[in-house]
Amino acid sequence: MTYEKSINAFKEAYKVIPGGVDSPVRAFNSVGGTPPFIAKGEGAYLIDIDDNRYIDYVQSWGPLIFGHCDSDIEKAVIEAVKKGLSFGAPTLAETQLAKEIVSLFDNIDKVRFVSSGTEAVMSAIRLARGVTNRDDIVKFAGCYHGHSDSLLVQAGSGLATFGTPSSPGVPSDLTKHTFVATYNDINSVKKCFETGNIACVIIEPIAGNMGLVPAEESFLKELRALCDKHGTLLIFDEVMSGFRASLKGAQGITSVIPDIVTWGKVIGGGMPVGAFGANSKIMSYLSPEGPVYQAGTLSGNPVAMAAGLASLKKIKSNPAIYVSLSQKAKRLMDGFSKAAASVGLIIVTDVRGSMFGFFFSKSPVRNFDDALKNDTQMFAKFHQAMLGRGIYLACSAYETGFISTAITDEMIEETIKAAYESMEEIVKG
């Protein structure tokens, strides 16, 4: 493959955009080479400006559960656009999408829409602090909840890629209220409670920002009990796993029930949408009903609502898609494992619904410290080799992959074949 146009485009972007990208991980710094500049998407494929074609396992980092340019979502967006791009006023679509979400969860009575996952989590934490009248929060090393100040401490994903545990520009007066615990380690959480007056504990129940690392059921149960004991609210960050791991996200897999949930990705169908929800009592603290303020001009944007509504209705009309998506993800990861074994390499894999992840590691990955043992140089070589064979994987060793309904069994086999060739090329040179 040639990338001449992308190389030139990257140089031009670098002149007017910091690092040439609008989100750091896209720069390909951790995997090497130049990021392909995308011209369009078609179903399971991405096509770059050099006309290279890739099977896409990123799917815009999760939201495109039906692949690129799904006809139903596309139609809904076009019809909405014809009526106006933004009103800054209530529309029926907001209520319709809220009803679709609320109908799936016994613990959710109301939701508030925002424009991003970062905004959803930031608002959920403010709400939790307002409800409990406490300042301190607990998060887990390796979990990424967006780039708001209070949460940019020991974050995964892009920050892990760049080896930065936190960011300059984040005041210590804010982060002193953030306690960092170890994922899947309840004793580390108990120590936080011994020191702080904890308003909430926020967790990715299926972590997707240190690679795919699910929380253990026993750990989540202990976490729920600990929060109940101290009158602390438990927040599930399902911006990535919501409607991805299952129809109900992590709540379709675990028996543990959170107090507040945040969503994004899929509920926007590819448009910028986030949301957070809880029972009526908790949500009554939110303005204009209560004193906790949150607002946004583009919150509940009619075009974004139309995309999300089309996406969610399509999912709910055929929830069996999760069985097929999971089977494909498992077959893909089994294929990667066998490809690695064929040349004497060992990888650790995991799957949750349509989400998959793999580590070049010899031991199980239960937390961020385990994830950091991943051979990132090997991942970079594998990423480059797969990209050259038309396979578009996440450009960080600490990200999660996604299967869309547009990915066929034949594409899975093509990807596995590419994995065998890539592994052999890496080991034998």
Q: Tell me the CATH number at 332.
A: 3.90.1150.10
Note whether 152 and 236 are same-domain residues.
yes
Res 248: pLDDT: 97
| The token pair that represents 215 in the structure block | 């929380």
Q: What is the mean pLDDT of residues 57-82?
A: 97
Q: What is the mean pLDDT of residues 281-295?
A: 97
Note whether 345 and 423 are same-domain residues.
yes
Res 165: pLDDT: 40
CA distance 201 to 180: 10
Beta strands in 308-377 (DSSP E): 348-352, 355-359
Catalytic residue among 237, 259, 350, 370: 237
CA distance 201 to 284: 20
Residues forming a β-bridge with 292: 286
363-390, pLDDT tens digit by residue? 999 999 999 999 999 999 999 999 999 9
At residue 98, what is the residue type? A
Note whether 30 and 173 are same-domain residues.
no
In a domain, 160, yes or no: yes
Q: Taking Cα atoms as reference points, which of 152, 59, 122 lies closest to residue 274?
A: 122
248-287, pLDDT tens digit by residue? 999 999 999 999 999 999 999 999 999 999 999 999 999 9
Note whether 167 and 266 are same-domain residues.
yes
Q: List the 355-359 sheet strands across, edge first.
A: 348-352, 355-359, 401-402
In a domain, 282, yes or no: yes
Note whether 202 and 255 are same-domain residues.
yes
In a domain, 9, yes or no: yes
Res 169: pLDDT: 77
The helix/strand/coil state of 409 is helix
In a domain, 152, yes or no: yes
CA distance 162 to 232: 33
| Distance between start and end Cα atoms, the chain | 19
Note whether 340 and 422 are same-domain residues.
yes
Determine contact, residues 281/127, Cβ cutoff 8 Å.
no
CATH value at residue 171: 3.40.640.10
Please report, rounded to a whole number, the percentage of residues in the chain having pLDDT higher than 90: 89
Judged by average pLDDT, the poorest of 140-144, 170-174, 190-194, 295-299 is 170-174
Note whether 90 and 238 are same-domain residues.
yes
Burial profile 246-264: b = 16 or more Cβ within 10 angstroms, e = fewer? bbbbbbbbbebebbbbbbb
Determine contact, residues 280/302, Cβ cutoff 8 Å.
no
pLDDT(63) > 80: yes
Catalytic residue among 45, 54, 144, 398: 144
Please report, rounded to a whole number, the percentage of residues in the chain having pLDDT higher than 70: 97
Residue where one domain finishes, among candidates 287, 317, 347: 317
In a domain, 294, yes or no: yes
Note whether 313 and 325 are same-domain residues.
no
pLDDT(160) > 60: no
Residue 237 bears catalytic tag = yes
In a domain, 63, yes or no: no
Res 154: pLDDT: 61
Note whether 313 and 350 are same-domain residues.
no
| The token pair that represents 207 in the structure block | 């972590």
Higher pLDDT, 395 or 174: 395
Determine contact, residues 269/57, Cβ cutoff 8 Å.
no
Q: How confident is the model at residue 174 (pLDDT cuts 50, 70, 90)?
A: confident
Note whether 86 and 35 are same-domain residues.
no
Residue 369 bears catalytic tag = no
Q: Phi/psi at 48 (nearest 5 deg)? A: -90, 180
Q: Which long-range contacts (CB under 8 A, 24 or more apart) does 48-51 make?
A: 48/3, 48/5, 48/6, 49/5, 49/6, 49/9, 50/1, 50/2, 50/3, 50/4, 50/5, 50/6
At residue 20, what is the residue type? G
When divided into structural domains, the chain yields a total of 2
CA distance 85 to 68: 21
Q: How much is the mean pLDDT over the chain?
A: 94
Contacts of 133 (CB under 8 A, 6+ apart): none
pLDDT(162) > 80: no
184-236, pLDDT tens digit by residue? 999 999 999 998 899 999 999 999 999 999 999 999 999 999 999 999 999 99
What's the domain range around 331? Answer: 4-57+320-428
Catalytic residue among 3, 136, 185, 265: 265
Q: What is the mean pLDDT of residues 139-155?
A: 81
The helix/strand/coil state of 48 is strand
Residue where one domain finishes, among candidates 262, 287, 317: 317
Radius of gyration of the chain (CA): 21
Q: Phi/psi at 213 (nearest 5 deg)? A: -135, 100
In a domain, 261, yes or no: yes
Q: How confident is the model at residue 168 (pLDDT cuts 50, 70, 90)?
A: confident
CA distance 51 to 29: 23
pLDDT(155) > 70: no
Contacts of 16 (CB under 8 A, 6+ apart): none
Note whether 326 and 303 are same-domain residues.
no
Res 156: pLDDT: 46
In a domain, 62, yes or no: no
Residue where one domain finishes, among candidates 317, 336, 359: 317
| The token pair that represents 364 in the structure block | 């199980």
Residue 265 bears catalytic tag = yes
Note whether 234 and 144 are same-domain residues.
yes
